[in-house]
A and B are shown apart, each in its own frame.
Chain A
Amino acid sequence: MGITNETKLPTEEELTVQEVNLSGPALKAAAFHVGKVCEWENNEFVLCREETKDPRQCINEGKAVTSCALKFFQQVKKTCASEFMQYVTCLDKSSPDQQFTPCRKTQAVFDKCVLDNLGYERAPFDYFPRVHVHKTERPKPEPEKPTVYPEAVPGLPEDAPKPPAKYGGRYIFQW
């Protein structure tokens, strides 16, 4: 494995936070709300991941994402638990691939409950594939510089004479 002892890795304690222990239908049921409520954290984390291409440097951003989502789910559990579970059950059992189409009625009930109690509106159905501009304080990482080879052969000086080839080129029909 290419991971040496010099490679800095975060410790187990740094990586252990309370995770969102929910199954697929529950996550899908709340996807549009969670994505809208935690939009800034999500964009920050994904921007960090795409810029640095390094999971070690985006641990804190990832923790912010998880804690935001967890906070939302706790709020839902406090206020709209029965509506949420109704919608989750519908998504889970109405189609083999958790389609949204058969569950519009329970979805409307859940959306109304979240809007009334928590004040979060459901994002439009095509909100997340749209292009969004994200403003961040984090500095942009330096682009990778070209490799410098210390033992490289030095080039010709600028004013070196370059006479035309004495016997022409080596290749025939190639200029």
Chain B
Amino acid sequence: MSKTAYKQDMPPPGGYQSINYKRVPARTFFGGWAIIGGYIGMTAGAFYLYSLNYKAVKNRELEVHSANLALYPMLLAERDRAYLKQIRKNRDEENKLMANVEGWETGTWMGEPIYKTQPKDCFIEPNFYDYYVHSSYKDLKKRMITLNY
């Protein structure tokens, strides 16, 4: 076996670099207290802006509500007159329809009143089906749909 020149592998002069295992934390701009303070400050500012917006929206809604209230008596007066006209028409229609039935009295069951404790002149609003009983089914259904949706 021939002789081989060995060369011992050695560290570089000056030694190896140190192994980089240290934590390198990110640079901190704010400390904990500053973050908490900033959060509170920004939330307070945002609440202030929100309150401005909230008041503006509420005032807008209030104005619409106000306009509706101003018109309510006028619309109610018109509606009352139309309603009473229709009630009278319904009563006349029932009188005409049941003229041939013996013993029939309008608004009662053969003379037995619906509301027996109330005075005779008492006005109790008829319910939905009573009000529409002489109308066509088409009108009744149309009104039901607009009531429900």
Contacts and interface: CB of A to CB of B under 8 A. Distances in A.
A120 B80 CA distance: 28
Query: Chain B contact residues: over half helix, strand or loop, or mixed?
Result: helix
B112 to A, nearest CB: 11
Contacts of B66: 31-32, 123, 125-129
A4 B107 contact: yes
Q: What bracket does the count of chain A residues touching chain B fall in?
A: 35 or more
Given A1-B133, A9-B87, A9-B91, A69 B74 contact: yes
Given A3-B87, A59-B81, A69-B74, A8 B121 contact: yes
Given A2-B107, A6-B121, A62-B80, A45 B73 contact: yes
B76 interface: yes
A55 B69 contact: no
A88 B64 CA distance: 15
A4 B84 contact: no
Given A12-B88, A58-B80, A100-B67, A2 B62 contact: no
Interface in A1-60: 1-12, 15-17, 19-20, 27-28, 31-32, 34-36, 38, 41-43, 45-46, 49, 54-56, 58-59
Contacts of A32: 66-67, 70
A62 B76 contact: yes
A3 B126 contact: yes
B124 A2 contact: yes
A127 B95 CA distance: 48
A112 interface: no
A100 B70 CA distance: 15
Contacts of B123: 3, 7, 54-56
24 contacts: A2-B107, A2-B126, A2-B130, A5-B106, A7-B122, A9-B87, A19-B78, A31-B67, A31-B71, A36-B70, A46-B76, A49-B76, A49-B80, A55-B80, A55-B84, A58-B77, A59-B80, A62-B77, A69-B74, A100-B63, A125-B59, A126-B66, A127-B66, A128-B70
Given A15-B84, A41-B73, 11 more contacts: A1-B126, A3-B87, A4-B105, A5-B91, A6-B121, A28-B67, A31-B66, A34-B70, A100-B67, A123-B70, A147-B117
The 7 closest A-B pairs by CB, nearest first: A35-B70, A62-B77, A4-B107, A42-B73, A31-B67, A128-B69, A55-B80
Interface of A: 1-12, 15-17, 19-20, 27-28, 31-32, 34-36, 38, 41-43, 45-46, 49, 54-56, 58-59, 61-63, 65-66, 69, 99-101, 123, 125-129, 147
